[in-house]
C-alpha cells in the first residue's frame, strides 16, 4: 500500500487484496521473519532492503502506544486494538535485526500479560485490558518462549530465564495432564481442551530447553553464526557468517555506527541502480532499443540478400 503495509490475505489468482488488516500477527508474521532470516542465511542485501522497508512502515503505522495493533493497510486506521499471541515472536525477530531496546520493552509488555493470566490469550484487547471475547484460548504456543530465548542469548540477562520459568510453572500447574499437556480453552478460568498441537514439542519445549541449557553439546545450535531457526524451529545451517551487526551477544551489543555505515552503503548502491535504470529508459525513449536496432539490421541484411538472388 502507499503506507508500505501488507494486508493479511491476497487472492493469488487475481493479485487483489482480500483482507486489508495489517499487523505483525498471523497471516503476515512469517513473511517478515523469512525476509530477515533469508538475509542471514544468504547474505543477499535485497532481502534486508525489503525487511527494513517493511520494518520502518510497521513502526510508523502499526505501533500504537508501545503495542502493535492491526490497522487498515490503506489508511492506517486501527481495525483491531489487540495484542495477539502470535505477535510474541516479534521481540525475537527484533533481536536478530539488532533492535535490542525495542525488543526488551515489547517483551516486558507481553510478559506482563502472561503474568496476569498465567498464559497468553489468543487476543488481548489493549483498550479494555482483558482477553477479547471468544479469543481467550492458549493453544500452547511457543512465541513468548522463543523471544525469551533470543533475548537471553543476546543479553545474558537472567530476567529472561525467570520469564521462561514463569512459562514452565504455568504449563506444569495448569496444562499438564496424564498423557502430555493440554491446550487451555480459557486463560481466565484455566479450562482445558483435549488437544495438543505438535508445535508444542517441536517449538515451545525446544525453546524452553535451549533457554536454560548451557551444555557444550548444544552450544553450536545456540550460536547465531552457525545456525538459524526457521519459523517452525527447525535448524538451518549458516554457511557464511553474517555481519556482526546481527550477531548480538553480551560481548557484542548493538553497534549504531556499524548499522549507519551499512545503510549508507546500501542507499548509495540503490541510488546508483536507479540512476542507471533512468538513464537506460531515457535512452530507449529517444530512439530504438538496442534489441530492436539489432533486429532491424538483421531484417535489412536479409532483405538485401533476397534482392541479390532475384
Opening angle at CA 277, ends 273 and 282, nearest 5? 150
How far apart CA 11 and CA 211 sit, in angstroms, is: 39
Question: Of the residues 122, 143, 146, 203, which is catalytic?
Answer: 122
User: Is 276 an active-site residue?
Assistant: no
Cell numbers found for residue 289: 532499443
How far apart CA 96 and CA 47 sit, in angstroms, is: 14
Mind telling me the catalytic residues? 122
Amino acid at each position: 500500500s502507499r503506507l508500505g503495509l501488507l494486508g493479511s490475505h491476497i487472492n493469488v489468482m487475481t493479485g487483489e487484496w482480500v483482507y486489508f488488516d495489517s499487523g505483525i500477527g498471523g497471516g503476515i508474521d512469517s513473511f517478515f521473519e523469512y525476509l530477515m532470516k533469508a538475509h542471514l542465511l544468504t547474505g543477499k542485501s535485497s532481502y534486508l532492503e525489503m525487511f527494513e522497508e517493511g520494518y520502518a512502515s510497521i513502526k510508523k503505522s502499526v505501533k500504537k502506544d508501545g503495542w502493535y495493533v492491526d490497522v487498515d493497510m490503506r489508511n492506517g486506521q486501527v481495525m483491531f486494538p489487540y495484542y495477539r499471541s502470535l505477535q510474541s515472536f516479534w521481540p525475537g525477530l527484533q533481536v536478530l535485526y539488532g533492535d535490542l531496546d525495542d525488543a526488551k520493552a515489547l517483551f516486558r509488555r507481553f510478559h506482563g500479560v502472561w503474568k496476569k493470566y498465567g498464559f497468553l490469550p489468543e487476543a488481548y484487547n489493549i483498550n479494555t485490558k482483558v482477553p477479547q471475547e471468544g479469543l481467550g484460548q492458549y493453544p500452547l504456543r511457543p512465541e513468548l518462549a522463543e523471544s525469551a530465548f533470543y533475548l537471553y542469548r543476546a543479553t545474558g540477562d537472567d530476567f529472561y530465564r525467570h520469564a521462561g520459568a514463569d512459562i514452565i510453572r504455568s504449563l506444569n500447574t495448569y496444562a499438564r495432564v496424564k498423557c502430555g499437556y493440554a491446550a487451555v480453552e480459557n486463560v481466565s478460568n484455566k479450562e482445558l481442551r483435549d488437544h495438543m498441537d505438535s508445535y508444542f514439542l517441536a517449538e515451545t519445549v525446544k525453546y524452553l530447553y535451549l533457554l536454560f541449557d548451557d551444555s557444550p553439546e548444544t552450544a553450536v545450535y545456540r550460536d547465531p553464526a552457525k545456525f538459524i531457526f526457521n519459523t517452525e524451529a527447525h535448524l538451518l545451517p549458516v554457511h557464511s557468517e553474517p555481519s556482526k551487526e546481527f550477531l548480538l551477544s553480551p560481548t557484542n551489543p548493538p553497534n549504531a555506527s556499524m548499522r549507519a555505515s551499512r545503510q549508507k552503503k546500501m542507499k548509495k548502491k540503490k541510488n546508483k541502480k536507479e540512476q542507471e535504470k533512468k538513464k537506460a529508459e531515457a535512452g530507449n525513449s529517444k530512439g530504438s532499443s538496442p534489441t530492436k536496432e539489432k533486429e532491424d539490421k538483421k531484417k535489412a541484411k536479409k532483405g538485401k540478400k533476397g534482392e541479390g538472388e532475384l
